[in-house]
């Protein structure tokens, strides 16, 4: 585990889910400068914020480990929300968000116990469906990664095999992207349920388009 990582378990209640041989990294360490507030805390509906909705979908699917990567400011705000997550959810901190998304991904991946198959998802896209998760999980056999597409355009989440994960963790180029890494491997594209896999909620205008 990278030095400085913080484990944060909320165990106010235990929920039972069918466990599958997959984990997930939820990336939420961006500075959210254009939004003006942490995107993980945006309201998804009357009951949940973005982070809760995304987590609930991966839990329902059966991911055994879930790691959420936040920055220092986001972690402070998260603590004030008093969210009750099951005990298989872990928080890791990227103390250097200026190093970018790939560094956050390395932090998250390094903290996993199981790396056989790992979903990677950005919290600024809260539109995760069970159908798309199933298509990715069922489609990765024989491939290094699996990515959802809609009309030829790739979206999220992506599903990575341990081969790709090892490549990410051994990478020293701080300017590289996940897309650059994936070009080195053999992947499969699966047709997604809708164009919402392409959505990124980055601005107030983006949010209003989908939620107001």
Q: What is the pLDDT of residue 120?
A: 98
CB 103 within 8 A of CB 69: no
Alpha-carbon 30 to chain mean position = 12
Domain residue ranges in the chain: 20-211
Spatial separation of the C-alpha atoms in residues 30 and 94, rounded to whole Å: 9
- Which residues sit opposite 150 in a β-bridge? 153
Q: What is the pLDDT of residue 3?
A: 28
| 188 conformational bin, left if phi > 0, alpha if psi -120 to 50, beta if neither | beta
Structure-token match 């879930």, residue found? 66
Q: What is the pLDDT of residue 72?
A: 92
What pTM value is reported for the model? 0.88
Q: What is the pLDDT of residue 87?
A: 83
Provide the 10 A C-beta neighbour count for residue 125: 19
Which of 4-13, 21-30, 95-104 is the least confident region?
Answer: 4-13
Average confidence (pLDDT) over 5-24: 49
Report the percentage of the chain scoring pLDDT > 70: 90
Q: Tell me: pLDDT of 146 over 90.
A: yes
Q: Tell me: pLDDT of 164 over 60.
A: yes
Q: Tell me: pLDDT of 7 over 70.
A: no
Q: Which helix (H) or strand (E) covers residue 107, if one does?
A: helix 101-110
187: number of CA atoms within 13 Å, CB side? 21
Alpha-carbon 160 to chain mean position = 12
Q: What is the pLDDT of residues 84-103, one digit of tens each?
A: 788 889 999 999 988 989 99
Q: Is the dihedral of CA 26, 29, 30, 32 positive or negative?
A: positive
Q: What is the pLDDT of residues 64-73, one digit of tens each?
A: 899 999 999 9
Q: Tell me: pLDDT of 4 over 50.
A: no
Q: Is the dihedral of CA 101, 102, 105, 107 positive or negative?
A: negative
Q: What is the pLDDT of residue 12?
A: 29
Q: Tell me: pLDDT of 60 over 90.
A: yes
* Long-range interactions of 8-13: CB distance < 8 A, separation 24+: 8/75, 8/79, 8/90, 8/91, 9/85, 9/87, 9/89, 9/90, 10/83, 10/84, 10/85, 10/86, 10/87, 10/89, 11/86, 11/87, 12/84, 13/84, 13/86
- Supply the mean pLDDT for the chain: 87
Q: What is the pLDDT of residue 33?
A: 64
Q: What is the pLDDT of residue 19?
A: 61
Average confidence (pLDDT) over 25-40: 83
Average confidence (pLDDT) over 135-156: 95
Average confidence (pLDDT) over 31-46: 83
The domain made up of 20-211 has a fold known as Spore Coat Polysaccharide Biosynthesis Protein SpsA; Chain A (3.90.550)
Confidence of residue 10 (pLDDT cuts 50, 70, 90): very low
């Amino acid at each position: 585990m990278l030095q400085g990582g913080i484990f944060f378990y909320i165990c106010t209640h235990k929920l039972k889910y069918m466990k599958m041989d997959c984990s997930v990294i939820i990336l939420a360490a961006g500075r959210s400068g254009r939004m003006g507030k942490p995107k993980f805390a945006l309201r998804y509906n009357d009951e949940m914020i973005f982070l809760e909705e995304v987590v609930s979908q991966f839990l329902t699917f059966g991911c055994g480990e879930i790691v959420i990567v936040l920055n220092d400011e986001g972690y402070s705000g998260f603590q004030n929300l008093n969210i009750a997550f099951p005990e298989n959810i872990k928080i890791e901190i990227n103390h250097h968000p200026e190093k970018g998304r790939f560094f956050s991904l390395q932090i998250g991946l390094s903290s996993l116990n199981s790396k056989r198959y790992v979903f990677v998802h950005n919290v600024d896209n809260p539109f995760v469906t069970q159908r798309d998760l199933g298509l990715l999980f069922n489609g990765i056999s024989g491939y290094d990664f699996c990515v959802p597409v809609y009309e030829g355009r790739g979206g999220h989440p992506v599903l990575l095999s341990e081969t790709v994960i090892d490549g990410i963790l051994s990478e020293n180029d701080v300017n590289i992207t996940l897309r650059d890494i994936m070009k080195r491997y053999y992947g499969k594209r699966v047709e997604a349920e809708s164009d919402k896999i392409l959505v990124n909620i980055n601005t107030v205008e983006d949010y209003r388009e989908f939620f107001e």
